Structure 1
Amino acid sequence: MEELFTTSGLFTLLMLFLLQAVLGFDNLLYISIESKRVGEEGGKASLVRRWGIGLAILFRIVLLVIIVNLFTFLAAPFLTIPWTGIFEAEFNLQSLVTLFGGGFIIYTAMKEISHLLAVDPLEHAEHGEKKSVVQAIILIVTMNVVFSFDSILSAMAIANTRTETGEIEYQVWIMAVAIILSGIGMILLADRVSEFLKRNRMYEVLGLFILFIVGALLVSEGGHLAHMKIFGFEIHAIEKSTFYLVIFVLVVTDIISTRYQKTLWAQREAEIRRKVDTLAAAEGIKTSGRSE
């Protein structure tokens, strides 16, 4: 614990907190979208977000301890598929969790997108499939475990020291404090993100497409971890830099598109008002002519 209060320890903590904040963006987006499925009555959505994130912090710390102590075991492949030229893979626990988690996120994003497209009147959008508070919390905690693998392994690459004998020791206390601080930050931001999406419905679609890309990122990472080959083509993980570039382009495109649509609507409203004023003026001339 004393390693936390050294200059090196505090710097490592700052780096880990920034890492958790960056990697936690997609997690926070998923929590905001999933929590709205329980409805806003009685503050249930806010309760789901707080409990979901709180339990997720606890499970993430437990997972951190497990990964640090069983890192070699978790990285060892236990299922090999040797269909040369068709499908080859060596699955370990991390690759399977990442693959299935990414697939589930893609499914969730596609289901929500199809729901938005299927709803005819916008006011009926809030009356889709509902989830109970317990179901939503379980889903949030489960998906947080999926996101945890990536963030914990990245944290382990930063928070470690080498002993005199050459062995690597991981700074578990520092990583645990960073997880707790990032979790508190997520709790403080979750309601604001949800309120923003609620007030700006056009950005909900953007959020769902970002979630879809997050799922594709996890699937590619899981395939890479499993050394997966399909018809001889090796699956490579999407680089984080590429991921953030795609997100940046999506956000900029959406902002420009939204502003352009508002400009078009303003022009159309001005044209309609001009036509109405012209018709009203013409009608007024006819009326005054008749009266004379």
Structure 2
Amino acid sequence: MIALITSPEAWAALFTLTALEIILGIDNVIFLSVVVSGIPPVQARRARQIGLALALVFRILLLSALVWLIGLTRAVVTVQEFAFSWRDIILIAGGLFLIAKATHEIHQEVEARDETRPAASSGAAFFKVIVEIIVIDVVFSLDSIITAIGMAQDLSIMVVAVVIACVVMYAASGPVGRFVAAHPTTKMLALAFLVLIGVALVADGFKFHIPRGYIYFAIAFSTAVEFFNVLARRNRSKGAGH
């Protein structure tokens, strides 16, 4: 352990792996901000805490089962020229879940049927959010750890990087969630991001890798545009008030 603390290579691996885990956690933060937007603020905070705690647990469990994790990349089903591993199947299922969830939410936003349909009980809505968070945490944890597994040879470095990344994600999830709740138009943008991420997961499952840099650039650019739109609307409302 002392050797790791004094090793420049270990610190470089920790910094790189932590940065990668934080970037890969953007997907999780966006999903959390969307699914908790439909429940009361107190429950939303609890749901974020539970969701990110589960994300941390899943990642550490996966790191502790590296042999089993590597086995998930072996082909188990072959359809014509496509050979699918359990990882591929999980990514495809998770991607389809994201697309279906985002499409359903977009439909509700566009049709504005939330006011006419009977509201689910607070407890049932909270339970539904937790189940959705668990499902997508499994997918994001699997994708994150398999992507990062070749970057560090020591398990302790991987665990520390995952813990730091989850702390950063928790710190970011609150402001992001509040921003989405305060500015309804940003929810539509976040839902569009989820569709984009879901398509990328499905493509990965079919061995067609879309570089994440393209996706994150699109997210960053669209977010910057929406941020300036929010500022412009706020300035116009202040001007109208005077």
Query: Quick one: distance in 1 between partners of 2:149 and 2:3?
Result: 15
Are the counterparts in 1 of residues 13 and 152 from structure 2 also a CA contact under 8 Å?
A: yes
Matches within 5 A, 1:246-257: 246-255=218-227
Q: Which has the higher contact order (CA 8 A, sep 6+)?
A: 2
The alpha-carbon distance between structure 1 residues 213 and 158, as it changes in their structure 2 partners (threshold 3 A), is: same
Q: Match for 1:237 among 200, 209, 214?
A: 209
Percent identity over paired residues: 25
The alpha-carbon distance between structure 1 residues 186 and 257, as it changes in their structure 2 partners (threshold 3 A), is: closer
Q: Deviations over 1:215-274 (max 9, x none)?
A: 1111111111xxxxxxxxxxx22112221232244334445666777899999x7xxxxx
Q: Residue 39 in 1 paired to residue 40 in 2?
A: yes
Query: Quick one: distance in 1 between partners of 2:39 and 2:228?
Result: 32
Are the counterparts in 1 of residues 37 and 180 from structure 2 also a CA contact under 8 Å?
A: no
Q: Which residue of structure 1 aligns with residue 178 of structure 2?
A: 195
Calculate the TM-score normalised by the size of structure 2.
0.86
The alpha-carbon distance between structure 1 residues 93 and 154, as it changes in their structure 2 partners (threshold 3 A), is: same
Q: Residue 214 in 1 paired to residue 197 in 2?
A: yes
Calculate the TM-score normalised by the size of structure 1.
0.72
Q: Which residue of structure 1 aligns with residue 74 of structure 2?
A: 76
Which has more radius of gyration? 1
Residue 83 of structure 2: SS of its match in structure 1? strand
Query: Quick one: distance in 2 between partners of 1:94 and 1:181?
Result: 25
Name the amino acid aligned to 2:63. Answer: L
Q: Which residue of structure 1 aligns with residue 133 of structure 2?
A: 140
Number of aligned residues: 239
Query: Quick one: distance in 2 between partners of 1:259 and 1:222?
Result: 39
Q: Which residue of structure 2 aligns with residue 19 of structure 1?
A: 20
Q: Which residue of structure 2 aligns with residue 183 of structure 1?
A: 166
**Backbone CA RMSD of aligned residues:** 2.9
Q: Which runs of 5+ in 2 are unaligned?
A: none
Residue 75 of structure 2: SS of its match in structure 1? coil
Query: Quick one: distance in 2 between partners of 1:218 and 1:179?
Result: 21
Q: Which residue of structure 2 aligns with residue 173 of structure 1?
A: 156
Query: Quick one: distance in 2 between partners of 1:186 and 1:252?
Result: 19
Q: Which runs of 5+ in 1 are unaligned?
A: 83-87, 161-170, 225-235, 270-292
